[in-house]
Structure 1
């Protein structure tokens, strides 16, 4: 479904992504793990059209989408839930979700999207008219993911969905990510610093170190690799 080939991205003179290659098949959950500053968010930004790539290519369903503007990618079936949630605090839950469906004009289809998100996140239905800025961190994360799902993406990009959440909420968010994948067949690329949780729900994974892919393979194999255990899982 998604193929990244020899992708190079810069911030000024800083070479952030150094010729990375990745493949994501339809229906998979694929994790990209690595330490702070490794280039994980830059990778998502380059895929999503938010950070221009200097060279290389991003191919989605056979179409070259390298440096295609983000709003056009949504129409093609790619949606991003950004790091830090980035909800609109003054708008209600319902209004935030409606913005996620901006490419839709059919009222019946929009209603279906609302129901799909509210079924997945019942807590949001309970807070439908509440300002997003007054929600808890976990509820805001549900809202950010729900907003990204309103356009019914084929590929969902999740950037640090567990960031800043209490352990019980982290578990809930990861269960919901699994549910999105299994119930709706949504392909997911997950950027996550909680490598234990990421690998536990993923089919495959890549390890990013200082802008380069250093390891990749089945998530279960990486979870048992001594190098990954030592560097990212807190195990010796």
Structure 2
């Protein structure tokens, strides 16, 4: 589904991603883990077209070269990013935030079906659909951000740090919901600081370190890798 080949990304003169390679197969949940500054969020922003990959990079999704496309075109291809920090529109209602997630879609019946799907996944949003998004709790805003991304009916859902800033009980709830979304057939690329939780629900894992892929493999394999355990899982 998604193939990344020699992807390089720069912030001015800073070489943030240094020729990384990885892939995501249809139906998988793949996680990217690593310390702050490793390049995880940069990877998602580059795939989404928010940042431009350097010349020679290859980002191929369903046979299409994303490096030649704008961010709106990439969204229309079915690649949707749920950004770090949630980034909901605080003065708009929950319902209007969700509606904006479907701005590329035209079929009113399908959009209505997506509303039903999101509200089934996140019943709390139903109770608050007329409420301003800025008045929601952090956990509710995260649910809204994921729901808004799902309104595009993505083929690939990219989640950037969905557990950031949440209380432990809400982290468990969010991960349970991510697991359910995946179980229902959505392919997911997950960036997550909480490596323990990410590896428990992922099929495969890539470990980024200073803009390069240091390890990759089956998620269970990574949980048992001594170097990964010591550096990212808090185990000796």
TM-score by length of 1: 0.98
Secondary structure of residue in 2 paired with 1:105: coil
Instruction: Calculate the aligned-residue CA RMSD, in Å.
Output: 0.7
Q: Verify the 8 A CA contact 1:90 1:131 in the aligned structure 2.
A: yes
Provide the secondary structure at the position in 2 that maps to 1:27: coil
2:202 paired residue number? 202
In the aligned structure 2, how far is the partner of 1:63 from the partner of 1:71? 15
For 2:207 and 2:194, the matched residues in 1 are separated by 13
Q: Tell me the distance in 1 between the aligned counterparts of 2:159 and 2:91.
A: 23
For 1:201-221, what per-residue CA distance to the aligned partner results, in whole angstroms no more than 9, with x for missing partners?
000000000000000000000
Report the Cα distance in structure 2 between the residues aligned to 1:159 and 1:70, rounded to whole angstroms.
16
Give distance in 2, aligned partners of 1:70 and 1:53. 12
Partner of 1:106: 107
Q: After TM superposition, give the deviation of residue 11 of structure 1 in Å.
A: 0.6
Q: Secondary structure at the match of 2:54?
A: strand
Matched, 1:178 2:173: no
> Where do 4+ consecutive residues of structure 1 move more than 4 Å?
none
What's 1:52 paired with?
52
| Structure 2 gap ranges (5+) | none
* Aligned residue number for residue 225 of structure 2: 225
Aligned to 1:235: 235
1:123-202 equivalent positions in 2, closer than 5 A: 123-183=124-184, 185-202=185-202
Length, aligned pairs only: 235
Report what 2:123 is aligned to.
122
**Alpha-carbon distance between aligned partners in 1 of 2:3 and 2:105, rounded to the nearest angstrom:** 27
How far apart in 2 are the matches of 1:186 and 1:74? 15
Q: Does 1:86 align with 2:87?
A: yes
Q: Deviations over 1:149-175 (max 9, x none)?
A: 001001000000000000000011011
Q: Structure 1: how far apart are the matches of 2:208 and 2:219?
A: 14
Aligned residue in 1 for 2:17: 17
Provide, for residues 2-44 of structure 1, a one-character-per-residue CA deviation record: whole Å limited to 9, x for no partner: 0000001111110000000001000000000000000000000
Cα deviation, residue 147, structure 1: 0.1
Deviations 1:25-66 (A, max 9, x none): 000000000000000000001100000111311000111111
What SS does the corresponding residue of 1:153 show, helix, strand or coil?
Answer: coil
* Contact 1:155–1:186, Cα closer than 8 Å, also in 2: yes
Aligned partners of 1:156 and 1:187 also within 8 Å? yes
Deviation of the 1:106 alpha carbon:
2.0
Q: Give the Cα separation in 1 of the matches to 2:159 and 2:114.
A: 19
Distance, in Å, in 2 between the alignment partners of 1:74 and 1:8 is 21
Alignment partners' CA distance in 2, 1:134 and 1:142: 14
Quote the offset at 1:193 in angstroms.
0.4
